[in-house]
Amino acid sequence: MSISTQRATLIVDGILAAVFFAVCVLYAFVGGWPDVIVVTLFSAALVLRRVAPGAALIVAWAAAGVQLLLLRDLQPADAAVFAVVYSTSAHGSRAVRWWGLGSAGAGAVLAAVYLALVKPAVDGVGVPATSEALALLAWTALLFGAALAGLVLAWTIGLLVRTVRDARAQRRRAELDRREREHAEYRYVVEQERTRIARDMHDVVAHSLAVVIAQADGARFAARTRPEAATEALDTIAAVARAALGDVRLLLGELRHREGSAPQPALDDLDDLVAQVRAAGLDVRRTERGERAALGAGHQIAVYRIVQEGLTNALRHGDTGEAVLLDLDWDTDGVAVRLDNALRAGARHDDEAGDGPAAPRHGIPGMRERAELAGGSFAAEADRGRFVVTARIPARAAA
């Protein structure tokens, strides 16, 4: 418990204890100063009951001891014992909790003996049928049972309240931990995909710069003797540089990358990709409408990777017994990609739109990242047992 929380708790409990004291002290004034002392001690125990349950238990025992030693009658302030016993189990440590339970038993014994034997003997007033030992024993047992039931009930209620409170706190911690894990996993997945994008783009940009350098060198030597060749070289340099600039912009500033040696995929490689997936057992039905627009190398990679990841997800999480529909819809502004597959019963797709609390895992964040970096859009959703991925990749003049 923090210092501010302790201060607030003390203030609240202090106000309640003051009200308790003001009510009980009216009765205590009738009995005299000994009863005022008892009420004061019980009120002090109420102030400490949540901040220091162990100390509150000691103060309550002190108040009960004073009451017994001074041979005082029962009074309303004795109700504070139940609140203190409750607090030992609801707010105390393990040791204090068991001390509270033990105090409930010991207090029940002392109360029964005091009320059934000591107080009647001192006051010279007998209880019903005290002339018979059996009746006296029954009366004592009745007092003991009543006191024990009340004190143990207060202790049990406190334990139940503590259990419910701890369970809620545990659920809140588990929820926070889950959200932190999901956030960390999402950042990791996105960073992985950004690194992969940068690796793909490296070869594209490196190739473009090599062409620019070669054409520039050729134009420099041909400028004097063949001006028309120099002009053609400059046109080529301009076109390649524009394409490379578009690819660099896809990196969005500072993307970490490392050089890759594998050739980068393009739209023409989609046939091989579909053939590979079909060989793995997935029935892919591909349709392509419209005339292909010219896409830059980076945009072609984006289309390929989105289709690749969508088919991979369908193979892993979908119902391979049903066909996967792959549609490429071309127009002058670019291409619209749509992947539609049936979900396997009881399986969750690798998607942030899936049911349940889990976060996106691997494929979907990467596909979204590629589409957005290419200047397009992306959506993925599960509906009525099917999973649909749609992406829009805009056209750009190819090198």
Question: pLDDT of the chain along its 399 residues, tens only?
Answer: 667 788 888 899 889 989 998 988 888 777 678 888 888 999 999 999 988 999 999 999 998 888 888 888 788 888 899 999 999 999 988 999 999 999 998 988 988 888 877 777 776 655 454 456 677 778 788 888 988 999 999 999 999 999 999 999 999 999 999 998 888 888 877 777 777 666 666 555 655 666 677 677 777 777 777 777 777 777 777 776 776 666 666 554 445 444 444 456 788 889 888 887 787 678 899 999 999 888 887 788 889 889 988 888 887 788 878 899 999 999 988 999 999 999 887 655 544 444 433 333 457 887 888 888 888 999 999 888 889 999 999 986 444
- CA 89 – CA 98 distance, rounded (Å): 8
Which whole-number Å values give the CA distances from 397 to 72, 187, 300, 381, 390, in the listed order?
100, 32, 12, 31, 23
34/158 Cα distance (integer angstroms): 31
Q: What pTM was estimated for this model as a whole?
A: 0.49
Q: Where are the beta strands (DSSP E) in the chain?
A: 284-289, 324-331, 334-342, 377-383, 386-394
Domain spans, the chain? 3-177, 189-249, 267-394
Q: May I ask the CATH class of domain 189-249?
A: mainly alpha
Four-way CATH pick for 267-394: 3.90.120.10, 3.30.565.10, 3.40.50.300, 3.40.50.10810:
3.30.565.10
Is it true that 189-249 and 267-394 share their CATH fold?
no
247's CB contacts (< 8 A; 6+ apart) are: 201, 204, 205, 208, 296, 297, 298
Per DSSP, helices labelled H in 93-132 are 94-113, 119-123
Which value, to the nearest 10 degrees, does the dihedral of the CA atoms of residues 51, 55, 57, 58 take?
A: -170
Please report the sign of the dihedral spanned by the C-alpha atoms of residue 59, residue 63, residue 68, residue 74: negative
Q: Which of 8, 69, 78, 74 is nearest to 46 (CA)?
A: 78
